[in-house]
Amino acid sequence: MASTAAAARTELAVKKKSKNRSPLYQGWKRFKRHRLAVIGLVWVSLFFIAGVIGPWVAPYDYRVGDFLAINQGPSLKHIFGTDNVGHDMFSQILYSVRSALIIALGATLVSFVIGIVLGLWAGLRGGIADVIIMRAVDFMMTLPGFLFALILVILLGRGYWSLILAIGIPGWAGYARLVRSLVLGMRNGEMVEAATALGASQAHIARRYMLPNVVGSMGVALAFGIPGDLVQIAGLSIFGMGLQPPIPSFGNMIAQASDNILGFPWLLYFPAGIFALTLLSFLFVADGLQEAFSPKGGN
Amino acid sequence: MGEPLLSIDNLHVKFARSEDEVYAVNGVSFSINENETLGIVGESGSGKSVTLMSSIGLLKENGTITAGTANFQGRDLLKMHRKQLEDIRGRDIGVIFQDPMTSLNPVMRIGDQIMEAMLTHHYAGRREAYDRTLQLMHEIGIPDPKTRFRSYPHEFSGGMRQRIMIAIALACEPQLLIADEPTTALDVTVQMQILALLQDLRRQRGMSVVMVTHDFGVATNFCDKIIVMYGGRIMEVAETDHFIRETAHPYSIGLKRSIIEIGHKGKEILPIPGATAAITEEPAGCPFAPRCTYASARCLQEVPELRPFGTDHQIACHHAEEVVSLVR
Amino acid sequence: MAVARFIAKRLVQIIITLILVISASYIMMYYSPGGFMNSSIMATALAPLQGQNPVLYHQVMDQFESRYGLNLPLWQQILKYLWHEFSFDFGNSMQNPSLHISAQLKQTLPVSALLAFGSVVLSVVIGVPLGIIAALKRNTWIDYVVSTVSLAGQAIPAFVLAVIMVLLFGVVFQGILPVTGWGSWKEMVLPVICLAAGNVGVVARYMRGSLIETLRQDYIRTAKAKGVKYWPLVFKHGVKNSLTAMITVIGPQFAFTVMGTIWVEQIFAIPGLGQVMQSAFTSFDYPLAITSVFLLGSMIMLMNLLVDIVYALIDPRVKL
């Protein structure tokens, strides 16, 4: 009896100590310790804001070129310069952010939804469904998603919707595997079992152990997934299979600029620089999230 | 008897954790003579392993020795540089660890792992070391040493691996062997084999052994002298015979009572109430006081020093006399 | 014997995967709205003919279709392609009907393979030592620099690095290294660096994590207890054990690099598989597109097989 009383006391003490700190808040606190991750988060937020308000703040229309001002270097009128048909590069970049975000978020959402559905199915059903789905995951994982995306673009075409599907559909496997492992982990998790044995309520277990685990893992997966999709979108453009010009995109700008890089390097500085910074920021955020939410992150 | 082989004096060790510090060892002193076996007994977290590991420089990264000395053959191990310690470890002091499943390098042939100790210390040349390895393997009971030399750890059972660990520790014929829970991870029958083997090897070599264990049975069977530790302090020290007959510390008594014996069905099992907790504040009072049925106000405020209690017997308890009279 | 059985089993798996991939790709291409004759170049070339001489136009189209078997039922077309690929015949490309695809590949495939292998080797040669240094100097500024640079290398795709390189060596440091073309080792330097950068990051980060984890293992403590000196400890016990884990990332990294190769070839104007593939995909040249998918797929999967075999050779615990 005495020992259970003591155990209850320690349990109580633990509860008291962490009463006002939800696990998510604690994760955020750990995340904040990574300076680069926070800087990354700021840049990513700016990127999102630019994507939303871009059309209203862009000084020029992306379709209209000023033929009197082609291939100009940065100036007060065109702060990032102009390209070979007189497009204002600053406006082009703002619209590119928008197109990149639409496709990347769309594609990630597609992958994510397929992944969750199949992962849940495999994890909860088990049996033959599990075997088949996991075989399919292995199949998708053997070959790069970009290869599947290329083939899908041939079938679907080069518009917004087609690119969202072409990049999104092949990307489900990683999410499915994650969701399945989370489901299995929760079903047979020793931690949950131990908590149940200690008499914690279902709601308490869900809030305390499952939620942070799920939110953390998913957040990390998404933070790695979105920049991956951004790379694929641009990669398709480099390959001549991305968004049809004149819709501006980072890939198109980089591909075009690399053709006449020697004469007009600023056409490259800004798009390539901003694109690289964005990818880097996403990765810093992902890295920070991983350290903040992974169980080994304590050290 | 002369100088003790190893004498540890007033050792203090702290561990840094992300938010606080743990006082793992708080002023431990003891010594071991040549050709002596010493058992250090305590629950996990009592600081028994840490005491020994810190004295030979195998403390985990987040641990620091805050005070104390550890004289080995007249030199203080705690003041030595890494390189000096490397020369002593494996040559003058051998170590066996708890879990033979994880303590051997999985991608190295076992023969090479045994030989490595000798080659590192230039104890023997290549040829000689090879022969000696075969001989050691034979001695510790590995059949067909020549073939098994080339096997990898995963091809052996736990008991066999622990034998290999012993061979590694003994490769350079050390004067002192530290056995850190050497039988804990093994099956009971294998435990006995390993203990018997250790006993034989020790007698042949006249080597001193410090056996760290939580198992009273193992310690009292194997050792000449017993030290009981709790909360990073020594609670009781006695010659094994004295200890068995005249256990006086409430904690030791509790530990003895919590042993389950064969053929005593119906005998009341008396666990010690409560659990060991990491000590995170500057210790004041007896570490066992919160769990002790005899504890008084004094126990919570004043640290009991280790004091003589009869012949060949020391104890750290304010109320040892009363306890003894109550128990007997 | 066990090894032979393992390899045979894996080869069968690889063939099945390739059959699935080729069939699926072909079905998608078959149902795609475009087609070689509708691709921009051919359509413009044929438009006048269609207007002036519809009969001849249809003859041309029919001839084209029967030449490439496009008039056959879908399943027969798929079988035909499967046969082409697995007999390494590959057929003729549509853009260049007189040129046999295998002849085209003889020139381009080695280029891409060299780039991919070269950069993977380079990334291991650089990444492993970086990872070791970062692990040993954990939580010092060296570690932070290595980790951050590795992350950057990993974040920035090869094609962005490639354009930055072109900018640097084509404009700023003109004349040190060529930024286009293919031929001597000098032209290999920049593309290989671009491809390796990401891998160096991955390898270094993985090596760091793996070594830190290994150095916490019980057998490291055993080696210390034996008195093994610091550097032998790190290399013989630490690095050797981390490398076995390291090898597993090389397979996926190779796949990643192969895809990077086809991008980098675009930017450095290197006549490799990437260029062939690009023209095949953008002009709906089915035989060529299917062949490039087949080759990329088999290259990646064979590399994975090789990695597994090496892994089993290094780690005695792994049984094939």
Query: Cβ separation of C228 and B88 shorter than 8 Å?
Result: no
Q: Tokens for A143?
A: 């070959």
pLDDT at A108 over 90: yes
**Chain B interface residues (partner A, CB cutoff 8 A):** 18, 271, 273-275, 277
- Residue ranges per domain, chain B? 6-92+172-260+268-327, 102-171
pLDDT at B28 over 90: yes
> When comparing pLDDT for C320 and A146, which is higher?
A146
B91 touches chain C (CB under 8 A): yes
Residue A126 DSSP symbol: -
Chain C residues touching residue B89 (CB < 8 angstroms): 224-227
Q: What is the pLDDT of residues C12-55, one digit of tens each?
A: 989 998 999 888 888 888 887 766 666 666 667 777 777 787 78
Query: Cβ separation of A151 and C28 shorter than 8 Å?
Result: yes
CATH 3.90.1170.50 fits A36-58+80-292, yes or no: no
Ranges A67-71, B40-44, B257-261, most confident: B40-44
Residue C195 DSSP symbol: H
pLDDT at C243 over 60: yes
- Cβ–Cβ < 8 Å for C225, C219: no
Q: What is the pLDDT of residues A52-74, one digit of tens each?
A: 888 888 777 777 777 776 777 77
- Whose tokens are 């040829």? That residue is B127
B328 pLDDT tier (thresholds 50, 70, 90): low
- Cβ–Cβ < 8 Å for B113, B105: yes
A257 pLDDT tier (thresholds 50, 70, 90): confident
How many residues can be counted in chain B? 328
Query: Cβ separation of A154 and C162 shorter than 8 Å?
Result: no
For chain B, list the contacting chains (3+ Cβ pairs, <8 Å): A, C
Q: State how beta strands B37-41 and B225-230 pair.
A: parallel
Q: What is the mean pLDDT of residues B1-20?
A: 86
CB nearest to B90's CB, from C218, C227, C317: C227
Residue B38's CB is within 10 A of a number of other CB atoms, namely 23
Which three-class secondary structure state does DSSP give residue B225?
Answer: strand
pLDDT at A253 over 80: yes
Chain A residues touching residue C256 (CB < 8 angstroms): 144
Query: Cβ separation of A6 and B18 shorter than 8 Å?
Result: no
Chain C residues touching residue A147 (CB < 8 angstroms): 259, 293, 296-297
For residue A4, the model assigns a pLDDT of: 45
Distances (CA, A) of A273 to A34, A119, A238, C320: 23, 37, 16, 47
Residue whose C-alpha is closest to residue A97's, from A74, A113, A80, A111:
A80
Q: How far apart are CA A95 and CA B52, in angstroms?
A: 67
Q: What distance in Å separates residue A162's CA from the closest CA in chain C?
A: 12
Q: What is the mean pLDDT of residues A289-299?
A: 62
Residue C314: exposure state from Cβ atoms within 10 A (0-12, 13-18, ≥19): middle
Phi/psi at A105 (5° precision) = -65, -40
The three-state DSSP-derived secondary structure of B129-186 is HHHHHHHHHHHCCCCCHHHHCCCCHHHCCHHHHHHHHHHHHHCCCCCEEEEECCCCCC
For chain A, list the contacting chains (3+ Cβ pairs, <8 Å): B, C
Q: How far apart are CA C290 and CA C276, in angstroms?
A: 11
Which three-class secondary structure state does DSSP give residue A58?
Answer: coil
For residue C254, the model assigns a pLDDT of: 85
- Cα angle A168, A170, A174; round to 5: 95
Which three-class secondary structure state does DSSP give residue B236?
Answer: strand
Query: Cβ separation of A2 and B274 shorter than 8 Å?
Result: yes
Q: What is the mean pLDDT of residues C259-279?
A: 86
A68 touches chain B (CB under 8 A): no
B89 touches chain C (CB under 8 A): yes
CB nearest to C223's CB, from B57, B99, B105: B105
Q: What distance in Å separates residue A70's CA from the closest CA in chain C?
A: 20
Which residues touch A177 (CB under 8 Å, ≥6 apart)?
A119, A134, A137
- Give the chain C residue nearest B56 (alpha carbons): C225
Q: What is the pLDDT of residues C45-70, one digit of tens each?
A: 777 777 787 787 777 777 777 777 77
Outline where DSSP puts E strands in B80-133: 93-96
Query: Cβ separation of A142 and C284 shorter than 8 Å?
Result: no
Q: What is the mean pLDDT of residues C92-114?
A: 82
Which residues touch A1 (CB under 8 Å, ≥6 apart)?
none
Outline where DSSP puts E strands in chain B: 6-16, 21-32, 37-41, 63-72, 75-76, 93-96, 176-180, 208-213, 225-230, 233-239, 307-308, 313-315
In this structure, of C84-93, C150-159, C289-298, the range with the lowest mean pLDDT score is C84-93
Q: Tokens for A241?
A: 């299979």
For residue A278, the model assigns a pLDDT of: 93
- Cβ–Cβ < 8 Å for C26, C286: yes
Query: Cβ separation of C219 and B91 shorter than 8 Å?
Result: no
Q: Tokens for C118?
A: 């070269």
Element (H, E) at A234: helix A211-238
Query: Cβ separation of C218 and B102 shorter than 8 Å?
Result: yes
pLDDT, mean over chain A? 80
Q: How far apart are CA C85 and CA C19, in angstroms?
A: 10
Q: Whole-prediction pTM value?
A: 0.83
Query: Cβ separation of C278 and A255 shorter than 8 Å?
Result: no
C148 touches chain A (CB under 8 A): yes
Query: Cβ separation of C241 and B99 shorter than 8 Å?
Result: no
CB nearest to A257's CB, from C34, C163, C297: C163
Residue C236 DSSP symbol: I
ipTM score of complex: 0.89
Query: Cβ separation of C218 and B103 shorter than 8 Å?
Result: yes
A-B contacts at Cβ under 8 angstroms: 14
Q: What is the mean pLDDT of residues C233-257?
A: 87
Q: Which residues pair with A22 in a beta bridge?
A: none
Chain A residues touching residue C160 (CB < 8 angstroms): 234, 254, 272, 275-276, 279
Q: Where are the alpha helices (DSSP H) in chain C?
A: 2-30, 40-52, 54-67, 74-86, 101-136, 141-155, 158-167, 186-215, 218-226, 230-232, 240-268, 273-282, 286-314
A294 pLDDT tier (thresholds 50, 70, 90): low
Query: Cβ separation of C304 and A142 shorter than 8 Å?
Result: yes
> When comparing pLDDT for A294 and B281, which is higher?
B281
| Residue B249 CA to its chain's centroid (Å) | 20
For domain B6-92+172-260+268-327, give the CATH superfamily: P-loop containing nucleotide triphosphate hydrolases (3.40.50.300)
